[in-house]
Structures are given as structure tokens and as C-alpha cells.
Amino acid sequence: MLRKVPRLASWSKSTDLDQVRLREYLEDTAELLAPHLVASNGRWALLLEVGLPPGRDLVDMADLDNYAFPLATRLRNGRDRRPSPPVRGPHHRLGHHD
């Protein structure tokens, strides 16, 4: 069980509140998972459950990838850094709901 609420990827400036909260979440979650990653022999899988409001379309622009991307990047790199936006092929839809 995570100790902090999952955060969406943010490409705002580093002092923006979204960036600060994202870094705190990533740092805490990486610390929580570190013992399991070390014991995993280099391969690992991660299940991240994110609750969304009822009626929210999970397929059309739900931003689920933007919850997983910063965490996967942080765990892969083993250090806190601002992730780059994911590269997407023509089959992906981009968009955000506020």
C-alpha cells in the first residue's frame, strides 16, 4: 500500500506545487519499493491502482499513462529527476481532463 496519493506527470517548472508534490510522492514510493527492487534480480512488475470518479471513461483521455510514467521512470533511473514526456506513436491519443 502506498503512503502517498499517486500523482500525474507534470512538466511544470520545478518550483510548481504539482512538481513538488510529484517529487515527494516519487521519493516516498521509491523508498517504499527499494527493498523489493533490489531483491528482484533486475526484472520487476508493478501494479498501480488509481481511483477515478464514477463515469470517467478509462479509455478516452483518462491520463492513466501519466500516473505510471513518472513512477516507472523514477524506479528505472533510481534517482529523482524530472521525467521527459513519453514518446508516442500515431496510435495513441493525447489529451488532458481538468
Other residues' Cβ atoms within 10 Å of the Cβ of residue 75: 16
Cα(83)–Cα(94) distance, integer angstroms: 17
Residue 4: pLDDT above 60? yes
Inside any domain, residue 25: yes
- Say how many CA atoms lie within 13 Å of 91 toward its Cβ: 0
Cα(74)–Cα(88) distance, integer angstroms: 19
pLDDT of residue 96: 34
Inside any domain, residue 27: yes
Question: Where residue 84 falls among pLDDT bands split at 50, 70, 90?
Answer: very low
Inside any domain, residue 41: yes
pLDDT of residue 66: 87
Helix (H, G, I), strand (E, B) or coil at 85: coil
Number of domains in the chain: 1
Interval 10-59: pLDDT, tens: 989 999 999 999 999 999 999 998 887 766 666 777 777 777 788 877 77
* 65: nearest Cα among 8, 1, 10, 6: 8
Domain carrying residue 47: 17-76
